Amino acid sequence: MISLPPDPGLGEGLAALLKCGHSRVAYKTFPDGELYLRLPNRVSEPVLLVSTTYPDQNRSLMELFLTLEYLSQKGVRGLYAVIPYVAYGRQDKEFLEGEVVSGRAVLRILKNLGLRKLFVVDMHSDKLVNEFKDLVVNVLPAKTLASYVERAVRTPRIIVAPDVGASRRAEVIANLLKCEYVVVSKFRDRITGEVSHRVPEGLSLEGFNAVVVDDIISTGGTVANIVKHLIGNGVGEVHVIASHGLFVGDSLSKLSSSGVRKIAVLNTVSYRVSSDLVEYLDVVGELLEPLKNVLEEV
């Protein structure tokens, strides 16, 4: 196992559980901004790379590309990677004519550089997962998120998907918790990025404690908006569970003024906020079985 510089701390735990060697890449940045990497000079197959792609998406992707190129050139065929958060994954189609489908570009480059399997946590786009089904193993961390809800949110609970894209996630978690889920309609202005929500007509959420489940918290706009909307519709406490907490810009103050009780996210990126509002959950346990299933066949 080789950890690249942005490994969010998963490499050590995974290497211990998988009982394999663990090394790191030596790296520096040249004065003009170009990257320099030096890998362990002797590697045995299979190689499992551990990295993530936030913050500094472009740099961490370039580091991955350079590493894969090096290992492929050295004749390593068993190339695997755990990248719990894959940047650019939200651009999975041409929403507006002429837009580059950057999520597809990233996956295609990884594949062309010889990567056999990519273990991702809660990839945003089912479309890309299906398009690259021979490459991507998408791990939904449902047990970890559900166990947070079990200990932190009082009954009666309702799981809320803040858009249609989050409905499968909400359904799986609601099934684990044996409670209902609801899909709230989301409208996003493709130019300004502004978000609005609407609870299905005739549905009463009064008396429930709501758990909003999403994949990514970026600017916090989606979550802040739905939390306010739910509180306006009479719910009790609102908790948020999400896989990837990017917490861009002033997102934290936006979220704390929304009225949200607590936000639980996973350790899938190498940026952490220090706030009583946010709790970090460990995703290592969710990755172990999928990794064993694939690596034991190698």
Nearer CB in complex with ligand R5P: 48/278: 278
Nearer CB in complex with ligand R5P: 56/163: 163
Lookup: tokens for 213: 């489940």
Please say if 186 is a catalytic residue: yes
Dist CA 268 CA 10 (whole Å): 8
State the maximum Cα–Cα separation within the chain, in Å, rounded to a whole number.
64
Q: Is 238 helix (H, G, I), strand (E, B) or coil?
A: strand
Counting every residue, how long is the chain? 298
Residues near ligand R5P, by CB under 6 A: 90, 124, 162-163, 165-166, 195, 214-222
Sign of CA dihedral 210, 211, 215, 221: positive
Rounded to 10 deg, the angle between the 284-295 and 10-18 helix axes is 50
Dist CA 291 CA 286 (whole Å): 9
Shortest distance, position 247 Cβ to ligand R5P, whole Å = 9
Shortest distance, position 222 Cβ to ligand R5P, whole Å = 3
Shortest distance, position 50 Cβ to ligand R5P, whole Å = 24
Q: How many of the other CB atoms lie within 10 Å of CB of 17? A: 14
Q: How far is CA 248 from CA 55, 108, 244, in A?
A: 10, 27, 12
Nearer CB in complex with ligand R5P: 91/209: 91
Catalytic residue among 28, 111, 143, 186: 186
Shortest distance, position 158 Cβ to ligand R5P, whole Å = 18
Q: Is 285 helix (H, G, I), strand (E, B) or coil?
A: helix
**Catalytic residue annotation:** 186
